[in-house]
Every structure is written in structure tokens, then in C-alpha cells.
């Protein structure tokens, strides 16, 4: 099976490298050609246009920014005609509504469609320890299980297309909300003159603790938001997607809308490309007002 990998950003490169390490023939495309260099050096074939990769492959893996990018790269007039008889595995974060619409377009073009978004960041992608969530027909899940195991040891079958995309958004909503809540408590403790080590000791021993707090603590204390595993702008995008989809099923989204305001403040502070722990900077900025 020859695989086309479309989208070689922060997550795409280590994921594609996992396939190369497993001796799976790979052809890669990225709209920024320079980002293909690590894969080219590792033995991947690279192309300048997405339709060239699609035409040469049996299976197409997408790790693109959003649904708009998927339509542009996969479903433009130049690419969609090459989809006949192929399978598309969509692994980025989009809404269940978008995933179903893309599924319909892919099937109309004569191909099969599977969604398989992942939970985890660059270290997990490099180690092949991502949590892979699959939305597909059961037989599609079984057919591509071994391929997906290159990204995570136990890909999880969630249900039909749309369910895995929804689960991914639910989990990313927790990333945004937990990080914001922790940043707010940490800032409050600091401004009250309470020892941070004591705060963390009590927190770690309580039912309130989540491991992500320790993963982001030092970045927040040091103000070190460089070399992100997951940039603020991506968390902003996923939060916007969650709010849109949650509103469509009549959920009260006031809590996550507050988080959205903090994310917007971080973006305005030129922290879009910083690690999302930079939410702490936005929360603790004297000039920030959530009432704007």
C-alpha cells in the first residue's frame, strides 16, 4: 500500500516519519515545500501539487489545518477526479458536521472515507503513542487498523463518521478549560503571596489534580512559551469549532465562551504561535480585560 500524506506541519512530520520507519512507501505534499525536507531526507517521495500525491497513492492521509484546507487540497477540481478507488483517512481536528460533509463529497468522488483524529502532541507522535479515535464502518476500521497502529498502539473504534470528530472536540475543550482554570488559580495564588510549591502539593494530593497541570506549570512560572507542541492559535481554532457544534445541539456554552475570550486575549498579545500555556500570560496581564 502506498500512502499519500497531505499536511506535514508540527504533527504531520513525526506521523509521516512513523510510516517511513515501518517501510511503508510514502509520498508527501505540503503547501510550504520547505516543511517536506525532513521527510525527503528520510526517504519519502515529495511532490509540488496535491493531485500528484493522490494519483500515485492507494490511501490518502490528511493532517491539514481545517475543513477549508481539506476542500482546497483534496476536493478541488484538480484533485477530486483522482480519488476514485482510494481511501481517505482524515486525521485533523474538524467538526462532526464538517466531517460528514467531507465524507459525502469523498464518496461522491468514488472513494472511501474514514475519520481518525488523534489525542496527543509531538512527543506522542514521535513515539507512536497517540490516542487514535476512529469514525468509520466497522469493516473499514478493521481494514486499516494495522496502518493506524503506526500512530498509536490501540486505535479505538468510536462509531460512524462524526462520532470520532465529536469526541476529539470534547477532549480539546477540556484542554482549553483545564489549562485556563489552572492558570487562573495559579495566578491567584501568586498574587495572594501563597507558596506555589505548597499549592501544588495540596493540589497533587487531591481529586482536583490533572497531570496536565504539572506539564504546563514550569512554562507558566518561567514565561517560556517557545517551541510549542500545540500552539495557542490551534487551541483557539478547536475551541471555536467546539462552541459552534455545542450550540447546534443546544448546550449552554457560557463557560467555554469565557475561555474563548482568554484565548482571544492571548492572540492579541502576539501569542498565536506560542505554546497554549501562554494563556497564563493573558490571564495575568494587568492590561487584559475580559469585559472587552
Long-range contacts of the stretch 41-44 (C-beta < 8 A, 24+): 42/17, 44/5, 44/16, 44/20
For 64, list phi and psi in degrees, rounded to 5: -100, 165
Residues with Cβ within 8 Å of 228's Cβ and at least 6 positions away in sequence, in order, are: 10, 273, 274, 275, 276
> What does the alpha-carbon distance between residue 30 and residue 12 come to, in Å, rounded to a whole number?
10
Please give the positions annotated as active site: 168
pLDDT at 54: 96
CB 153 within 8 A of CB 128: yes
> What does the alpha-carbon distance between residue 7 and residue 10 come to, in Å, rounded to a whole number?
9
> What does the alpha-carbon distance between residue 15 and residue 269 come to, in Å, rounded to a whole number?
31
pLDDT at 77: 80
Nine-digit cell string for 275: 505554546
For 66, list phi and psi in degrees, rounded to 5: -160, 180
pLDDT digits (tens, 9 = 90+) for 92-137: 999 999 999 999 999 999 999 999 999 999 999 999 999 999 999 9
pLDDT digits (tens, 9 = 90+) for 40-90: 999 999 999 999 999 999 999 999 999 999 999 999 888 889 999 999 999
Tell me the pairing of strands 131-135 and 118-119: antiparallel
DSSP code of 61? E
pLDDT digits (tens, 9 = 90+) for 141-172: 999 999 999 999 999 999 999 999 999 999 99
pLDDT at 260: 98
The secondary element (H helix, E strand) that includes residue 88 is strand 87-90
> What does the alpha-carbon distance between residue 266 and residue 279 come to, in Å, rounded to a whole number?
6
pLDDT at 286: 61
The secondary element (H helix, E strand) that includes residue 60 is strand 59-62
Long-range contacts of the stretch 142-145 (C-beta < 8 A, 24+): 144/59, 144/87, 144/89, 144/114
Residues with Cβ within 8 Å of 235's Cβ and at least 6 positions away in sequence, in order, are: 172, 175, 176, 263, 276
pLDDT at 290: 39
pLDDT at 259: 98
In angstroms and rounded to an integer, the radius of gyration of the C-alpha atoms of the chain is 20
Nine-digit cell string for 168: 476529539
Alpha helices (H) along the chain: 12-21, 37-41, 50-56, 67-74, 77-80, 96-108, 122-127, 138-143, 145-148, 163-191, 196-204, 211-222, 232-248, 254-268, 279-283
pLDDT at 288: 43
> What does the alpha-carbon distance between residue 166 and residue 164 come to, in Å, rounded to a whole number?
5
Amino acid at each position: 500500500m502506498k500512502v499519500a500524506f497531505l499536511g506535514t506541519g508540527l504533527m504531520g512530520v513525526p506521523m509521516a516519519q512513523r510510516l517511513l520507519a515501518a517501510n511503508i512507501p510514502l509520498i508527501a505534499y505540503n503547501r510550504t515545500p520547505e516543511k517536506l525536507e525532513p521527510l525527503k531526507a528520510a526517504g519519502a517521495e515529495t511532490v509540488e501539487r496535491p493531485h500528484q500525491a493522490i494519483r500515485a497513492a492507494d490511501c490518502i492521509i490528511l493532517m491539514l489545518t481545517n475543513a477549508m484546507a481539506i476542500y482546497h487540497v483534496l476536493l478541488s477540481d484538480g484533485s477530486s477526479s483522482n480519488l476514485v478507488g482510494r481511501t481517505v483517512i482524515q486525521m485533523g481536528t474538524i467538526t462532526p458536521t464538517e466531517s460528514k460533509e467531507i465524507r459525502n463529497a469523498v464518496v461522491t468522488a468514488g472513494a472511501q472515507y474514514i475519520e481518525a483524529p488523534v489525542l496527543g502532541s509531538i512527543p506522542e507522535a514521535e513515539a507512536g503513542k497517540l490516542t487514535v479515535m476512529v469514525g468509520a464502518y466497522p469493516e473499514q476500521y478493521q481494514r486499516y487498523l494495522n496502518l493506524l497502529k503506526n500512530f498509536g498502539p490501540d486505535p479505538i473504534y468510536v462509531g460512524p463518521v462524526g462520532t470520532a470528530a465529536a469526541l476529539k472536540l470534547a477532549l480539546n475543550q477540556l484542554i482549553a478549560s483545564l489549562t485556563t482554570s489552572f492558570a487562573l488559580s495559579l495566578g491567584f495564588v501568586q498574587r495572594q503571596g501563597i507558596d506555589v510549591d505548597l499549592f501544588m502539593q495540596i493540589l497533587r494530593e487531591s481529586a482536583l489534580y490533572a497531570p496536565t497541570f504539572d506539564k504546563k506549570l514550569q512554562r507558566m512560572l518561567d514565561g517560556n512559551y517557545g517551541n510549542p507542541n500545540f500552539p495557542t492559535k490551534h487551541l483557539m481554532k478547536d475551541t471555536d469549532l467546539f462552541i459552534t457544534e455545542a450550540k447546534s445541539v443546544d448546550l449552554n456554552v457560557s463557560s467555554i465562551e469565557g475561555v474563548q475570550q482568554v484565548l482571544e486575549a492571548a492572540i492579541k498579545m502576539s501569542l498565536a504561535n506560542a505554546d497554549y500555556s501562554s494563556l497564563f500570560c493573558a490571564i495575568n496581564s494587568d492590561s487584559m480585560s475580559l469585559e472587552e
